[in-house]
Structure 1
Amino acid sequence: MSPTIPPILSVHPTRALVDEPFKVVVENLPPASPVTLHSLIYSEDKDYWEAYGHYTSDHRGIVSAAEDVSVGGTYTGKEPMGLLWSLRPEPGSRTGLRFRKRIVTSPILVHVSVYSGHITQGFREQSPLASVLTERWYMAPGVQRIEVKERGVRGTLFIPPGPGPFPGLLDMWGGGGGLLEYRSALLASHGFASLALEYFSPGELQTADLQLQYFESAFNIVKDHPQVIPDRVGIIGLSLGALLALHIAAESKNIKPHCIVCISGHHLFPFGATIAAAQKDQEKELKTRYDENNYYIWRDVRLPIPSDPAEKTDVRKIQCPMLLVNGDDDQNTPAVEAAEDIAQMMRSQGNLHLLSTLTYPDTGHLIEPPFSPHFRATNFIKPFIKEKVIVLWGGKTKAHSDAQEDSWRKILAFLQHHLYSSTTPKARL
């Protein structure tokens, strides 16, 4: 490389929401020069995550991640956002890691660098040709973050910028428990007041956490907020959160969600709903199987889908539009089989028109917002018995990442249509 004309690396925008694409361009390289584009994140859990692609500059001495092909690295092909979605723990890291942003009031800091040659390791021990620090945010400027501890409910409410009022959402994650705010913060950045609900908190497990009243109270906290349109409140949930969304929409006599989004869920847990019932269900899971890596496979526990209506939530009662988002390589939940049974049940009631389903090939359980790293297997502590295992979630990185990008766009379109529009026909996906 010429010492007199240093390479110039640019990333635009350098500050953006996590679901916004960026453009990475290197200029002032010699023509036909092999280089490596590299991204590095130091997580809140004090682990390094990296991704990289191998490129060759064109006759002008330029490399563009959006226009050029990576011939090697953690991703290949023309992948503008490969430096994010193919992130993985640096070699030598702890096993079973999962990247999650827990402090949403600060950005994810991504160091993007360009190195001479096609290299595959030791990035932090080498000097890059150029580097740029970029910020990826879940919270847009002006989003309000409000801690909630009222009516027995624990969580965080995010209010979009502007005068409002806004449609509302109750946002529920899975059986790992605790409080996860990043999806709600991002939903608020797109115009939806969203309550990230805490339940199954480590050390705080309460009987109320699986009782319908707890979730009804949380829904009403959203509905009653002065900046929320009270008759435009929906529910979004992943895994156990999706199961809860179906159960609430079917069984609650006190609240009526305007629409629901269920990601990687099922309707096969007819809790009424108590911790005892959940513990009894957990006993079945002790009979599960492991793959060749000794990773825990959960999906078979609930197969085959029972024919007895008493063994599942009666989704025939649901009267609001709902969107099911599933991956056909989900190794944690039989979401695809459950979706087929849900469709049959709703068809029998004549309300199949309320159901929209998205099924993605080679996609696993953890369908996150766009450009989030793919996790095929991660550490997990099972509720109630507190056993630590590595759970197999499934999915192939490229296909799973494509599904995250497509499904997020369609989830936002579904919510926009049903919570902002004055009509509520089937979602236009």
Structure 2
Amino acid sequence: MAANTTSPKLIVDQTSSLADERIHICAQCLQPFQCYTLLLSIIDEKSTLFKSLAFYLADADGKIDLARDAAIESPSGSYRGVFSEGLFSTLKPLIPYERLVRRDVTHPLRFVLSLWNGSTASTISDQYLRQFTSVVTSQHLIDTSLDFVTSLNVGLSESLNVGLSESLKPLAVQSIDRHFMKDGVRRVVVKEGKLRGTVFIPAGNGPFPGVLDISGAAGGLVEYRSALLASRGILAMSLAYIRYDDLPKSMKHLEIEYLEEAAEWLFQHPKVNPVSGGVGLIGSSKGGEFGIAAACYSRRITALCTVNGNIMSIGSRTTRQLSDVKYRTEYGMVTPSGVQYPPAPLDVGKAVLYDDDAINVRDSVAFPVVPELRNMYSKFRKPFIREGRQIVSGDKDDFGTATQEEETNSGGFFKFGETDFETIKQSMYPIEQVHADWCLFIAGESDQNWHSPVYALEAVRRLEAVGKKHVRALIYPKTGHYIDPPCAPFEEASFHPLAQSVVVWGGESFSHQAAQEDAWMQTQLFFKKALTSPPDPLSSKL
């Protein structure tokens, strides 16, 4: 095969797309059977540089296709094998444990994709890569011709006051914009009564399914999921509940009435479809736990989806890192008709501290050891094949090894330290009271934050026992805690502002990305079905 004489090119099928869409990346006009590096970089809103890179061999025609070709295994590569979304999924920050989270969803994330000779890209300095990424990102129109790349390298050499060898210059460059709001989606700030958040309204006349979106314990206003839901035809409200505007700075007390008020407000929105008699709620981690609590009391929540949520109030009475959850309070006090769920204490002695000071708290939280759950596990575990690779369970049985005596003495929960079941029972939400006809519990089998699959199955078991029909769990193998829309990079660990430490989340990049893609599709289908269906008369009577 003759050598290519034309300049190398990067071919991206969508240089501007929604953040949850797959992107097809190819390189062509390369030297056959030669090694090349593909490098992806981005500078986020906090000026943190993220990068990923992979090494590929060009085929006999001088082409590389990320959906077809396997990345070469290398200590400096971010991944190996066929992984079409690998560059996006394996992005890592230069400042360890930072998360790539888009705060301003009205603007896209702009990534810089570059092609390099051999494996030399792995040796370029962080200073050069930052400047390179900054220059390309600032361009309004990226000209990926050889002339542009040449002028770019000249400018970088001058700004860095260094001479760049030919081997340390990119062969081709392409910017990629990933949007969170489709054309026509409107963002409206909500500041009514106690409510603080934003509503994302899809393009068109509606009516649309309405969904409350609750984030985790880090708090603040997290909008990217709501913006993408609206881009897919669901009217979504990002609801902050701590650490935002004039809301409480801590989670010492969470009041269910706040979510109840939000559900009622959203249901009254003129563009929300009223046919189900209510709205949906999606919550992740602590947001999922808070959402379960609200669904036990609010009849306006007719479809509930939790992502690695819990079935009881979680926290530590000693450190007060997390909160109690209350319903029907006056001046912060529970009324005679109200109820309070104190935080189940954590057994910090079971936390694992790693050499890099990251902490794994999974076994610090009590979880059910109900025998029936083991039989349910295979029904809801979701192994599947992606890009020719089978994704199956990578973890040990998640149900512990409690003896019959221990199960009896613990009331169905592990007993640890000085904590008995009666203490834990005070923190458990009355799941049987959930008013929603439709419930979906999503869990990562390798979640290291807590035993999410077990909580999901226990919720299903208890809801099915009271006659709920539209209840299911989705348990994804080798998947960690942060199951976000598929635009989010995989994070095995990150700094948690509430815990003030690095927390291990678990999972593996390839499987986690596959889970995010599937869970995102399942979530949209779930809400569109549940919120366009009339209430189940039998369920209403129950």
- Aligned partner of 2:92 in structure 1 is 88
Q: Hey, what's the Cα distance between the residues in 1 that align with 2:278 and 2:325?
A: 27
Letter in 2 for 1:356: R
Query: Structure 2 residue aligned with 1:296, among 359, 363, 374?
Result: 359
Q: Contact 2:209/2:527 (CA < 8 Å) preserved in 1?
A: no
- Aligned partner of 2:185 in structure 1 is 143
Provide Cα deviations, 1:148-180, integer angstroms capped at 9, x if missing partner: 000210001100011112110000001111110
Provide Cα deviations, 1:284-312, integer angstroms capped at 9, x if missing partner: 47656233233223332321434665431
Q: Contact 2:325/2:341 (CA < 8 Å) preserved in 1?
A: no
- Determine if the alignment matches structure 1 residue 178 to structure 2 residue 220: yes
Q: Hey, what's the Cα distance between the residues in 2 that align with 1:343 and 1:421?
A: 21
- Aligned partner of 2:79 in structure 1 is 75
Summarize the Cα distance change of 1:346–1:278 in structure 2 as closer, same or farther, 3 Å threshold.
closer
Q: Hey, what's the Cα distance between the residues in 2 that align with 1:144 and 1:279?
A: 37
Q: Hey, what's the Cα distance between the residues in 2 that align with 1:304 and 1:218?
A: 30
Q: What is the correspondence of 1:107-186 to structure 2 with a 5 Å cutoff?
A: 107-119=108-120, 120-122=122-124, 124=128, 126-186=168-228
Summarize the Cα distance change of 1:224–1:287 in structure 2 as closer, same or farther, 3 Å threshold.
farther
Q: Hey, what's the Cα distance between the residues in 2 that align with 1:11 and 1:282?
A: 50
Letter in 2 for 1:181: E
Query: 1:191 deviation in Å?
Result: 0.4
- Determine if the alignment matches structure 1 residue 245 to structure 2 residue 291: yes
- Aligned partner of 1:257 in structure 2 is 301
- Aligned partner of 2:442 in structure 1 is 325
Provide Cα deviations, 1:231-261, integer angstroms capped at 9, x if missing partner: 3510000011111221111123xx3322111
Provide Cα deviations, 1:14-33, integer angstroms capped at 9, x if missing partner: 11011111111111112112
Query: 1:394 is paired with a residue of what secondary structure?
Result: coil
Aligned residues: 415
Summarize the Cα distance change of 1:337–1:380 in structure 2 as closer, same or farther, 3 Å threshold.
same
Q: Contact 1:321/1:424 (CA < 8 Å) preserved in 2?
A: no
Query: 1:86 deviation in Å?
Result: 1.2
Letter in 2 for 1:100: V
Query: 1:401 deviation in Å?
Result: 1.5
- Aligned partner of 1:64 in structure 2 is 65
Q: Contact 1:171/1:195 (CA < 8 Å) preserved in 2?
A: yes
Q: Hey, what's the Cα distance between the residues in 2 that align with 1:28 and 1:304?
A: 56
- Aligned partner of 2:147 in structure 1 is none
Q: What is the correspondence of 1:28-427 to structure 2 with a 5 Å cutoff?
A: 28-72=29-73, 73-89=77-93, 93-119=94-120, 120-122=122-124, 124=128, 126-201=168-243, 204-205=247-248, 210-230=254-274, 231-252=277-298, 255-269=299-313, 271-273=325-327, 281=343, 284=346, 289-293=351-355, 294-305=357-368, 306=413, 310-319=426-435, 320-351=437-468, 353-382=469-498, 388-421=500-533
Provide Cα deviations, 1:322-349, integer angstroms capped at 9, x if missing partner: 1111011111122112123223322332
Q: Contact 1:151/1:217 (CA < 8 Å) preserved in 2?
A: no
Q: Could you tell which deviates more after superposition, 278-287 or 231-240?
A: 278-287
Q: Hey, what's the Cα distance between the residues in 1 that align with 2:178 and 2:210?
A: 24
| C-alpha RMSD of the superposition | 2.7
Greater C-alpha radius of gyration: 2
Query: 1:62 deviation in Å?
Result: 1.1
Letter in 2 for 1:379: F
Summarize the Cα distance change of 1:278–1:256 in structure 2 as closer, same or farther, 3 Å threshold.
closer
Q: Hey, what's the Cα distance between the residues in 2 that align with 1:106 and 1:209?
A: 34
Q: Contact 1:267/1:338 (CA < 8 Å) preserved in 2?
A: yes
Query: 1:25 is paired with a residue of what secondary structure?
Result: strand
Summarize the Cα distance change of 1:286–1:411 in structure 2 as closer, same or farther, 3 Å threshold.
same
Query: 2:106 is paired with a residue of what secondary structure?
Result: coil
Letter in 1 for 2:239: L
Summarize the Cα distance change of 1:282–1:268 in structure 2 as closer, same or farther, 3 Å threshold.
closer
- Aligned partner of 2:138 in structure 1 is none
Query: 1:402 deviation in Å?
Result: 1.5
Q: Contact 1:288/1:296 (CA < 8 Å) preserved in 2?
A: no
Letter in 2 for 1:205: P
Q: Could you tell which deviates more after superposition, 100-109 or 371-380?
A: 371-380
Q: Hey, what's the Cα distance between the residues in 2 that align with 1:106 and 1:213?
A: 33
Letter in 2 for 1:272: K
Query: 1:131 is paired with a residue of what secondary structure?
Result: strand
Q: Hey, what's the Cα distance between the residues in 2 that align with 1:25 and 1:3?
A: 16
Letter in 2 for 1:247: A
Q: Hey, what's the Cα distance between the residues in 2 that align with 1:371 and 1:107?
A: 12
Query: 1:282 deviation in Å?
Result: 8.0
Q: Hey, what's the Cα distance between the residues in 1 that align with 2:40 and 2:536?
A: 43
Q: Given the two structures, how large is their TM-score scaled by the length of structure 2?
A: 0.72
Query: 1:354 deviation in Å?
Result: 2.7
Summarize the Cα distance change of 1:45–1:67 in structure 2 as closer, same or farther, 3 Å threshold.
same
Question: Sequence identity of aligned pairs in percent?
Answer: 30
Summarize the Cα distance change of 1:312–1:209 in structure 2 as closer, same or farther, 3 Å threshold.
closer
